[in-house]
């Protein structure tokens, strides 16, 4: 029916959507503020995943435009406080439950007037001791005898990783080096362009002087780009002269670096999810844990920047490179010998000398390591994993996996996901 000309249009008010069920009985939707001054996309994904499950509303204006929402009145705060600006933002909400994803609030670099407010806060952090250990193991598994860590800012992350990294390297009989990059800057003064250029020249000289091949770990993927530029200016090849390992596994950096960057996956998404879960408990009246909750790393995601074995014999290096590039195919020791330019007997001898295993065992190791990554990181079915890793069939794959790992592929996946 048409509306008569000139009569007002009647509009029925929209009823508000029924609030989602909250984890707190008798409470409408929780409203949680994100004070994430410095963060990765994966951290926000973990928070968002928990927020969907719990029916939260998220206030993210501080994240998106750097605006402190002084008008906000809500239920809880998820924070990553790394500088005085972040700490000052939190002062607007002094009595609201908060979980912090960083020790930056209580680090020596933070002014004293802010540090006191950060003491005793509930925290969820990545396990830096384990990150240091698996980073060192990554180089040791590739036979490196000279392994370094760049101390970029002398910050809590690096200072917690250095001891376990150094101990793991030295216990294996390799030589450890700490590159004290932070000493190129005055401790309390802002870092100027001139300071950065001076530090870059120092790093170029230092990388030239260290023994090769060198394995070098850094605290973040962005710092790894700085190392790659220094290697380029020093005339050093990655990974042949310097193998570089980052941390955070940021695809926007790792996949588009000058050399695709290997990186420790420190499970930032799991960090965000567990931090949100802890905050939910605090908002429901639970007591805060006495110690920070530590999230273990998932492992190293290997790309070209460390995709090499540190062996002095170029024939072995050629053979190993052939295996890594062709393990999906139907290859065996004869094909590896041809690629290395050696006879079968000579190939076996030099492989045992430098790697402690035969070419056939190396092929199996590469296939199994790739299978573990696919089982942990994808939803591919077992027969698809077997096909992508060069196994002749699902039976061969399952038998080889169980002999090496002690569990069936399905059990490995279930344990990893749990």
Q: What is the mean pLDDT of each run of 10 residues along the chain (418 residues)?
A: 46 40 56 86 94 95 87 94 88 92 87 86 95 94 92 91 96 96 85 92 97 95 96 93 95 91 94 97 94 93 83 80 88 93 92 88 90 85 92 92 90 78
Q: DSSP string spanning 110-178?
A: S-HHHHHHHTT--BEEE-HHHHHHHHHHHHHTTT-SEEEEE-SS--HHHHHHHHHHHHHHHHTTPEEEE
**Residue 258 and residue 135 share a domain:** yes
**Residue 67 and residue 160 share a domain:** no
- Choose the final residue of a domain: 255, 280, 306: 306
315 close to 309: Cβ distance less than 8 angstroms: no
Provide the residue range defining the domain that includes 99. 31-125+271-295
Nearest to 298 by CA among 243, 251, 367, 248: 248
Length of the chain: 418
d(CA 81, CA 270): 19
Residues linked to residue 98 through DSSP beta bridges, in sequence order: 77
Residue 214: per-residue pLDDT: 95
Whether 3 is covered by a domain: the verdict is no
Contacts of residues 165-171 at CB distance under 8 Å and 24 or more positions apart, as own/partner, are 165/132, 165/133, 165/135, 165/136, 165/217, 166/136, 168/132, 168/133, 168/136, 168/137, 168/140, 169/136, 169/139, 169/140
Please list, residue by residue across 162-195, b when 16 or more beta carbons sit within 10 angstroms of its beta carbon and e when fewer do. Answer: bebbbebbeebebebbebebbebbeeeeeeeeee
**Residue 179 and residue 151 share a domain:** yes
Per-residue CA distances from 155 to 134, 160, 364 (Å): 19, 9, 40
Provide the CATH number for the domain around residue 137.
Answer: 3.40.50.2300
**Residue 80 and residue 37 share a domain:** yes
Coil, helix or strand for 355?
Answer: helix
Cα–chain center distance at 349: 38
Whether 13 is covered by a domain: the verdict is no
Whether 151 is covered by a domain: the verdict is yes
**Residue 331 and residue 281 share a domain:** no
Domain count, the chain: 3
**Residue 362 and residue 397 share a domain:** yes
Residue 13: per-residue pLDDT: 44
**Residue 195 and residue 98 share a domain:** no
Whether 23 is covered by a domain: the verdict is no
What sign has the CA pseudo-torsion 100, 103, 109, 111?
Answer: positive
158 close to 149: Cβ distance less than 8 angstroms: yes
Residue 217: per-residue pLDDT: 98
**Residue 212 and residue 196 share a domain:** yes
Whether 412 is covered by a domain: the verdict is yes
**Residue 48 and residue 106 share a domain:** yes
- Choose the final residue of a domain: 283, 306, 329: 306
Residue 417: per-residue pLDDT: 67
d(CA 124, CA 128): 12
CB-side exposure of 343: number of CA atoms within 13 Å? 2
**Residue 229 and residue 245 share a domain:** yes
Cα–chain center distance at 150: 16
Whether 12 is covered by a domain: the verdict is no
d(CA 180, CA 316): 34
**Residue 285 and residue 244 share a domain:** no
Whether 229 is covered by a domain: the verdict is yes
d(CA 179, CA 207): 9
Provide the CATH number for the domain around residue 346.
Answer: 1.10.10.60
Q: pTM value?
A: 0.73
Whether 5 is covered by a domain: the verdict is no
146 close to 169: Cβ distance less than 8 angstroms: no
**Residue 134 and residue 237 share a domain:** yes
């Amino acid at each position: 029916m048409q509306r008569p000309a000139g009569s007002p249009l009647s509009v029925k008010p929209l009823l508000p959507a029924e609030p989602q069920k909250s984890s707190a009985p008798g409470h409408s939707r929780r409203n949680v503020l994100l004070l994430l001054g410095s963060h990765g996309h994966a951290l926000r994904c973990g928070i968002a995943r928990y927020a969907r499950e719990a029916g939260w509303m998220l206030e993210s204006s501080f994240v998106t435009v750097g605006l402190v929402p002084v008008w906000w009145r809500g239920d809880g705060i998820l924070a990553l406080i790394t500088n005085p600006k972040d700490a000052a933002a939190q002062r607007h909400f002094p009595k609201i439950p908060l979980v912090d994803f960083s020790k930056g609030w209580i680090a020596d670099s933070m002014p004293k007037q802010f540090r006191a407010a950060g003491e005793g806060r509930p925290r969820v952090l990545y396990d830096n001791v384990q990150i240091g250990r698996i980073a060192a193991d990554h180089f040791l598994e590739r036979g490196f005898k000279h392994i370094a860590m760049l101390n970029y800012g002398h910050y809590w992350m690096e200072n917690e990783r250095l001891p376990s990294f150094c101990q793991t390297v030295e216990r294996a009989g390799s030589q450890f080096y700490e590159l004290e990059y932070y000493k190129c800057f005055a401790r309390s003064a802002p870092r100027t362009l001139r300071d950065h250029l001076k530090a870059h020249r120092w790093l170029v000289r230092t990388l030239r002087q260290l023994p090769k091949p060198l394995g070098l770990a850094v605290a973040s993927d962005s710092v790894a780009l700085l190392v790659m530029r220094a290697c380029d200016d020093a005339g050093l090849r990655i990974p042949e002269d310097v193998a570089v390992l980052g941390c955070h596994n940021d695809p926007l950096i790792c996949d588009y670096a000058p050399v695709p960057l290997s990186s420790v996956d420190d499970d930032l998404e799991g960090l965000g999810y567990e931090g949100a879960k802890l905050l939910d408990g605090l908002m429901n009246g639970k007591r805060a844990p006495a110690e920070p909750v530590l999230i273990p790393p998932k492992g190293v995601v290997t790309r070209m920047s460390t995709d090499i074995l540190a062996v002095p014999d170029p024939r072995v290096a050629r053979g190993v490179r052939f295996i890594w590039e062709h393990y999906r195919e139907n290859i065996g020791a004869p094909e590896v010998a041809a690629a290395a330019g050696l006879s079968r007997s000579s190939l076996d001898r030099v492989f045992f000398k430098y790697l402690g295993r035969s070419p056939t065992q190396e092929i199996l190791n590469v296939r199994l390591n790739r299978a573990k990554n696919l089982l942990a990181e994808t939803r591919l079915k077992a027969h698809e994993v077997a096909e992508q890793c060069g196994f002749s069939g699902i039976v061969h794959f399952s038998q080889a996996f169980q002999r090496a790992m002690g569990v069936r592929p399905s059990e490995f996946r279930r344990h990893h996901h749990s």
